[in-house]
Amino acid sequence: MDIKRLIWHGSIPLKITLSKTESRIWDQTTPYYIEIPRISYLPVYLDLLIGFFRTFLLDESTASAGNAWFSTAEDAIPVRWHLPIGLLHDLHRPPPPASSSTTPQPWHLVLHFTNYPDILARRQCDWAMRDAYMNKLKEADFLRCGSAKRVMSLSKHDSDALWQSVVDHDLDTFTRITSTLLPTTPRNLPIRIYLPTPAPAPPSSPTTPTPSNPHPSSKPPTASVGPPLNTVHQPLTPLSQSQTLNDLLSSHFPALFPDPAKSKSTLQRQRERERSNGKVLGRAMIHGVKIPGEMPLVEVVREMAGADGWVDIVVVVVVMT
Amino acid sequence: MERIPDDLENLNLASSIIISNIPEDATAALNRYTQADTAKVAIRFKAVGRAPILKQQVYKITSGQRFQTVTTFLRRQLKLRPSDTLFLYINSTFAPSLDEVIGNLYQSFKVNDELIYSSNYTQRDLMQTAPCPYP
């Protein structure tokens, strides 16, 4: 199986329960178990879930796709519906850096129909998800070609069929339509990098960053709360065919991804630091898999882009011991 | 050039995710890269269709802000009611999601050192026939 096919068929097992405050029978509602393709989106499955949970609801009139939102069962965090489910999973449940042999448990999400949180974008109509998807696609096209005319000149039939192929998980149709979208030599690459973000400094303190001080005095760096997602686009520089994933990451985040070429000169210093407090390093994960840094970026995008044309890189931090 | 005021609440748009397993030492390394960018960038608004033309078309905004700050600001400027729908497209092409960082959009899509938004809006009575707003 080629990489594209493997990615397309990757899936996330989910356990979905109804918010107990909205259920007639508190926490006794039967959970719904479903396995969703990584490249798909939660709103696609709402009709199914509404049909299943409707009769459990205290107030059945709230059961509409526009009201529905999800939160993580573990820490009650609203889940952003417009991101692919695989990416959401990797952001909320970062895979362990070392391969562990434990059996993966389904990811537990809670479905709500009331108190829609302000921090989530509203889905004002039925086709909001499709619209969000098409916008992401156009954005990626704009980066690759300098305009979105390839996506915008898709026929009505093809652009409908493209979204439908994501909904129906139909790789053949998807490949047929998207094959016209990819230029042989892209100008830029649609890549997003997601960094876990530790707790922000309190607003009263001066904003000068103190990277040398691992223990900000005012706030203990324990359970880090904060905007976890820092998205960084591939910068608009002339793209060389040989640029690798490591080149990209070490130019953006040299402390997390030291440049192997430079590390020789500072090897001594590095060794000392490693001995003293354990080195913090980043690991790049795409679709939940650790990607070798020497892989050329052009290939990463060609083989590993999601259904929206973007490559989402989730950075996981590890402390070397 | 006038500035779009920072929306501090928006900085926390995604603040609800807790990464509990960040190792202590990683906090310092990550802080280096995750400080909100305080540099200012220029954005230009272009009115399309029925949208009224703004008196001032170019504004400065902090690049660490989220896209939602722009939509909130523009709604206020145009005195839109909550029922009115505002459409904002970058380079007349696509609507970014509300949580995209302005600095990223600017780096990727600027034209002549300005990020160009075209705006259009519709009133509630037009909602039935209007294309779906996102988000």
The string of pLDDT tens digits covering residues B54-64 is 888 889 999 88
- A95 neighbors A285 (Cβ within 8 angstroms): yes
Q: Tell me, what's the pLDDT at B102?
A: 86
How far apart, in whole angstroms, are the C-alpha atoms of residue A237 and residue A235?
Answer: 6
Residue A145 maps to a domain: yes
CATH number at residue A258: 3.10.20.90
By three-state DSSP, how is residue A70 classified? strand
How far apart, in whole angstroms, are the C-alpha atoms of residue A133 and residue A307?
Answer: 9
Q: What DSSP state is assigned to residue A6?
A: H
CATH number at residue A68: 3.10.20.620
Residue A264 maps to a domain: yes
Distance from B85 to chain A by nearest Cα, in Å? 10
Residue A35 maps to a domain: yes
Residue A216 maps to a domain: no
How much is the pTM? 0.83
Is the pLDDT higher at B34 or at A244? A244
**Which residue of A201, A252, A319 is in closest CB contact with B23?**
A319
pLDDT digits (tens, 9 = 90+) for A262-283: 655 555 555 555 554 566 788 8
Is the pLDDT higher at A213 or at B98? B98
Residue A51 maps to a domain: yes
- Buried b / exposed e over A37-70, threshold 16 CB at 10 Å, is bbbbbbbbbbeebbebbeebbeeeeebebebbbb
Length of chain B: 135
How far apart, in whole angstroms, are the C-alpha atoms of residue A26 and residue A29?
Answer: 7
Beta bridge partners of A33: A15
Residue B18 has pLDDT above 90, yes or no: no
Residue A220 maps to a domain: no
Say how many C-beta atoms besides its own lie within 10 A of residue A198's C-beta.
26
- B83 neighbors B13 (Cβ within 8 angstroms): no
Assess whether the previous peptide bond of B135 is cis (omega < 30° from 0).
Answer: yes
- Buried b / exposed e over A256-266, threshold 16 CB at 10 Å, is bbbeeeeeeee
Residue A286 has pLDDT above 90, yes or no: yes
Range of the domain at A96: 3-124
Distance from A213 to chain B by nearest Cα, in Å? 7
Query: Which range (A250-254, A297-301, B70-74) has the least confidence?
Result: A250-254
On chain A, the residues whose CB falls within 8 A of the CB of B98 are: 121
A192 & A144 share domain: no
Q: Is the ipTM of this complex over 0.90?
A: no
Residue A295 maps to a domain: yes
Distance from A207 to chain B by nearest Cα, in Å? 9
Sign of CA dihedral A110, A113, A117, A122: positive
pLDDT band at B13 (very low <50, low <70, confident <90, very high): very low
Q: Which domains does chain B have, with CATH numbers?
A: 40-129 (3.10.20.90)
Is B25 an 8 Å CB contact of chain A?
Answer: yes
By three-state DSSP, how is residue A15 classified? strand
Average pLDDT over chain A reads: 80
On chain B, the residues whose CB falls within 8 A of the CB of A122 are: 135
How far apart, in whole angstroms, are the C-alpha atoms of residue B95 and residue B90?
Answer: 6
Closest CA to B24 of A136, A213, A36, A291: A213
Interface touch A138/B11, C-beta < 8 Å: no
Q: Which residues contact A285 (CB under 8 A, 6 or more apart)?
A: A90, A94, A95, A291, A313, A314, A315, A316
**Which residue of A117, A127, A142 is in closest CB contact with B109?**
A142
A143 & A116 share domain: no
- A176 neighbors A158 (Cβ within 8 angstroms): no
CA-based end-to-end distance of chain B: 29
Q: Tell me, what's the pLDDT at A321?
A: 61
Residue A316 has pLDDT above 90, yes or no: no
How far apart, in whole angstroms, are the C-alpha atoms of residue B6 and residue A130?
Answer: 31
A154 & A41 share domain: no
Say how many C-beta atoms besides its own lie within 10 A of residue A277's C-beta.
12
Cα torsion A165, A169, A170, A171 to 10°: value is: 100
Query: Which range (A36-45, A142-151, B95-104) has the least confidence?
Result: B95-104
Q: Work out how many CB contacts closer than 8 A connect A with B.
A: 175
On chain A, the residues whose CB falls within 8 A of the CB of B30 are: 195-198, 256, 317
Is A295 an 8 Å CB contact of chain B?
Answer: no
On chain B, the residues whose CB falls within 8 A of the CB of A135 are: 94-97, 134
**Which residue of A80, A209, A235 is in closest CB contact with B35?**
A209
B:39-78 residues touching chain A, CB 8 A cutoff: none
